[in-house]
Structure 1
Amino acid sequence: MIKLEKKKSCIIWILMTVICTFFVCMIGNVSVEAKTVTKDITIGKGKTYAIEQTFSGKATFKTSNKKIAVIKNGKIIGKSIGKAKITIKDKGNTYIYKITVAKAYLNQNEIIVNVGKTVNLKIKGMKGKVKWSSLNKKVATVKNGKVTGKKTGKTVIQAKINGTILKCNVKVEKPELSKKKVTIESGKSYILKVKGTSRKVVWTSSNRNVVTVKNGKITGKKQGNTRDFALKNKSPCSACEFQ
Structure 2
Amino acid sequence: MDNKTTHLSDEIKREILQNAKTIMIVGLSPDTSKPSYHVASFLLEKGYDIIPIYPKGGEILGKKAFTSLKEAFIDISKKGVKCDIIDIFRKSEALPLVVSEICEIWGLESSIKDSCARESEIARDLDSNYNDQHSVVKLGKLDSINFAPQSPAPTQMVENLDSNSHHIKHSEISNTESKKDFSPMAQNDKILESFNTNNPCIWVQLGLQNAEAAKIAKQHGMLYEEDSCIKLEYMRIFSK
Decide: shared fold, TM above 0.5: no
Q: Which has the higher helix share?
A: 2
**Rg larger in 1 or in 2?**
1
TM-score (norm 2): 0.21
TM-score (norm 1): 0.21
Q: Which has the higher strand share?
A: 1
